[in-house]
Amino acid sequence: MRVISGSKKGRALKAVPGTSTRPTTDKVKESIFNMIGPYFEGGRALDLFAGSGGLGIEALSRGFDHCVFVDREFKAIQTVKANLKTLDLIKSADVYRNDAERALHAAAKRETGFHGIFLDPPYKEQKLKALLSSIDEHQMLEDDGFIVTEHDKGVELPETIGGLVLARQEMYGLTGVSIYRKRGE
């Protein structure tokens, strides 16, 4: 695993030890950022199922100002922090060990908005519709922002969820990527 492009291009990322996480492949990560960017001029990102932090770190490397990393696994949090430290990105990040639903609830209470939200939950425990509904309900996505969901290719997501609309969907082998934006954006 490595950073694909931007200020940290080519730098290696540590993977989370064990088999509890499934890192986004470099091919899929590159495709995701080609669909949503590929580069950015600031903004806040949320990497909700952070794992090693690869998606959020890629966002920082490509121009986001700040990223909030959330994962419920202790080993994942340790790995995110190690990767951020190695790449000198600690000051651009907040890292929390928390459940996804609780993290969204906390962000909603703070009225925190994000330009980019990355959702890459474990394939066996997907609650993407509920998470997308919560993000929409609490208006966490900025007007010109995006939500990237990574999921099993067999997962069928609706065209719309509240004020969110499915803007693009691609399949890469067993992996599906769906991108949501605010309706009308």
Per residue in 48-105, pLDDT tens? 999 999 999 999 999 999 999 999 999 999 999 999 999 999 999 999 999 999 999 9
Give residue 140's domain range. 29-34+41-182
pLDDT band at 18 (very low <50, low <70, confident <90, very high): confident
- 59 found inside a domain: yes
Structure tokens at 151: 């999921």
* Number of structural domains in the chain: 1
Q: What is the CATH number of the domain that holds 114?
A: 3.40.50.150
